[in-house]
Amino acid sequence: MIARALRFQDISDGWLAAARRVVSPNCDARPAGVAVDTLVVHGITLPPGRFGHGQVDALFTNRLDRAVHPFYEEINGLRVSAHVLIERTGALTQYVSFDARAWHAGRSYFDGREAVNDFAIGVELEGTDHCPYAPAQYRALADLAAGLMANYVALAPERIVGHSDIAPGRKTDPGPAFDWPLFRALMERACI
């Protein structure tokens, strides 16, 4: 665990050296003077319930082909991104520098503040609310969180939340299938 966490601490100019990089245009500058102090865990599959098709890359880079699946017509024109995607295998893709504001939280509220994108890092896990996440994803997320906390000192374990926590009633991810105690135990070990 320690070697993996140290590798994930290698962040330069907001980019993780250990991740594949696919740059998303769906981002902008964080407000001046706002520190990164929150990590939001999301769940995503495209098409819904299907894994491993590379469609998240297409969504986050505005290249989603509406003809591929009827659901894509519903989200046509949506401009969203996350900082990182963790695939079922544990592989990481980074779309937005951690120093920039990704468009992952939407209308959101946390710890007395609105517009969570301003101060949060968004991490998508390839998965659904009711399908268990893969062990490799938990390990990668724990190691990534440890690395982020080492680089962004205002980020602490109690500030790692689900999308459902910052947008209750609107979002449900990462859902009941996400094992928070397992993730937190792995993260504690990764921080040693």
Catalytic residues, by residue number, are 124
b/e map 146-181, b = 16+ CB within 10 Å: bbbbebbeebeeebbbbbbbbbeeebbbbbeebeee
Q: Which of 117, 118, 181, 186 is nearest to 146 (CA)?
A: 186
Q: Which of 132, 181, 128, 176 is nearest to 157 (CA)?
A: 181
